[in-house]
Amino acid sequence: MTALADSHILIAVGGGIAAYKVCSLISSLGKAGIAVRVLLTDAAQAFITPLTVATLSRHRAYTDGDFWQGDQGRPLHIELGEWADLILIAPLTAHTLAKLAHGLADNLLTNTILASRCPVLLAPAMNTEMWEQVSVQRNWQQVQADPRYHGLATGVGLLACDRLGPGRMAEPEALEIAIESLAITGGKRDLVGKHLLITAGSTREFLDPVRFIGNPSTGKMGIALAQAALARGATVTLIHGPLSFTPAFPQTEKLTLIPITTARELATELDRHFPDADWLLMAAAVADVRPTTTAPHKLAKAELPQALPLEPVPDLIATLSQRKQPHQKLIGFAAQTGEIIPPALGKLERKGLGAIVANPIDQPGAGFGSDTNRGIWLTATQQIPLPAGSKLAMAHRILDLGHGCAAGVSI
């Protein structure tokens, strides 16, 4: 969460059972040393107490009873509105949503919103029938027409009312990613109308049903790229290898997830989706070689070859580079050890890319499996350091640089 190190986050908790979920988010931010303040509506206090959130945030909680009791002797909603760099309302109830849509201010939360200018992240939660009401959907669309407001659509799941359907609040992990993205970008939506094709993780090239040639890539960097792109309004197709964890994504129709296992499967999906992509970000660690044959059954030890016959895997991004259209941008990734720039520049030219990201996998806090990363953005004319930070922060920096990236040249 390094991108939030200097941010002031105000979390406003509404009156709904989903309020309990916010506690883990407050705890995570508090443990990371992020400056967090929590505001509870009167209805929220029926679900969680001021003492709970004060303990988790390492700071007093604010309620409507504190309205005229700011820490500096000024009205509290003015102080909080000036202090906050970002406000999260979670859970957002139908009642508070209606107030936001019409600019009403009758409690500490809504007065603070009107006394501030920072981005506001909205995480609604309510019964399916309530969420699907025409009036509620009208208010939801109306607030999102205001560039200050950034909504996380509800998910589908089992609700507290035992109804299975939409209305479930976004999970704490998705809220945390959305907060960090807003802190980094200020809420810009510079990828609206763009289709980003992103690959992530490793491929597995099988000798038999239980043995394969692979690598340690976890897919975290590619997933971070997808999370960042969605936050900026892009439509994303994410093709990913086997994952050992469940990525946190918002509920959205703009995301398509395609699982693959082998390089051959990846090639098939790239062929299918590349023609419709504006950008290709090839973050997957694709195998360079594979066994020439794959046994249909598990080989006994005595059957294992003393020397394993291998064949090269076709260079997928280099192949796509020959087919790209003038508007398409191809961005590669090079996981390197030792001196990382010369081999990455060689790949940039050889594969006909617009840019390549080289990262040192032999350095602490970078590379496979790490939650952080660093590297260098390389083009034919640029060498720009990507400083150490979360993979989400690095993903946003890559997208920033991608706007100025040329499409590259065919090889």
Closest CA to 388 of 345, 368, 359: 359
405 CB contacts (<8 Å, ≥6 apart)?
Answer: 329, 331, 354, 355, 379
176/180 Cα distance (integer angstroms): 6
Task: Point out which residues pair with 221 in neighbouring strands.
Answer: none
Active-site residue 23, yes or no?
no
Residue 98 in contact with residue 140, Cβ under 8 Å?
Answer: no
Taking CA atoms, 143 is separated from 151, 226, 331, in Å, by 9, 25, 35
Catalytically active residues, by annotation: 161
